[in-house]
Amino acid sequence: MISRWEDIIIETLSRFLIPFMQTYSLYVLAHGHGSPGGGFQGGCIFAASFVLMVIAYDIFEAKKRFSEKINGVFCALGVFIYAGIGWLCLLLGGNFLDYGKLSKILPTDPIMARYYGMAGIETGVQITVMAIMVSIFLDLVTAGRHEEAMEEEDVGSDSK
């Protein structure tokens, strides 16, 4: 269990570092086309920012910003975005994941439609990887007893 352990240096540093990490993860996602990067790496960096948040503050503070239920939805949402873009191409008369056909609904030519299609699926990958990493981390760190474990711990710390 992660308990509240206040340290002003760690908290202040994390306060500066976490937004930087999240911005950097979006940078890694957006530059997956022109340079090394992409959804998997960006998602892991984004999840690392939540892990840092849980370590530096506590699990409640992290959950206030990103609740368990939203995280669970995001786990499936990323796969849904990926497969959804594939099916969208299918509905528009192409093959599965044939991004060029997206130009029929996007105001661009097929070449840029490919670009946006790939950006879309990378975003889906990033969302799933981020949510799953956070979910696995929270499951492991609380032994699967999210609310309950914390309540027990609060009772314990009150009685001290």
Partner 1 sequence: MIKKIVSILIAILATSALLVGVKDFPNWADPNQPASVHVSPRYIEKTVEETAVPNIVTAVLADYRGYDTMFETAVIFTAGVAVMMLLRRPYKK
Q: How far is CA 54 from CA 2, 38, 50, 109, 130, in A?
A: 8, 25, 6, 44, 15
Contacts of 58 (CB under 8 A, 6+ apart): 2, 3, 4, 5
Which stretch, 17-25, 36-44, 45-53, 56-64, contacts partner 1 (CB under 8 A)?
36-44
| Cβ(159)–Cβ(114) below 8 Å | no
Under the criterion CB under 8 A, does residue 33 sit at the interface with partner 1? yes
Nearest to 94 by CA among 123, 120, 67, 114: 114
Under the criterion CB under 8 A, does residue 121 sit at the interface with partner 1? yes
Under the criterion CB under 8 A, does residue 73 sit at the interface with partner 1? no
From the CB of 26, what's the least distance to partner 1, in Å? 17
| Cβ(99)–Cβ(43) below 8 Å | no
Under the criterion CB under 8 A, does residue 48 sit at the interface with partner 1? no
Q: Treating both helix axes as pointing N-terminal to C-terminal, what angle do 110-141 and 68-91 enclose, rounded to 10 degrees? A: 150
From the CB of 53, what's the least distance to partner 1, in Å? 19
Under the criterion CB under 8 A, does residue 155 sit at the interface with partner 1? no
Under the criterion CB under 8 A, does residue 42 sit at the interface with partner 1? no
Q: Which residues bind partner 1 (CB under 8 A)?
A: 32-36, 38-40, 75-76, 78-79, 82-83, 86, 96-97, 99, 110-111, 114-115, 118, 121-122, 124-125, 128-129, 131-132, 135-136, 139-140, 143-148, 151
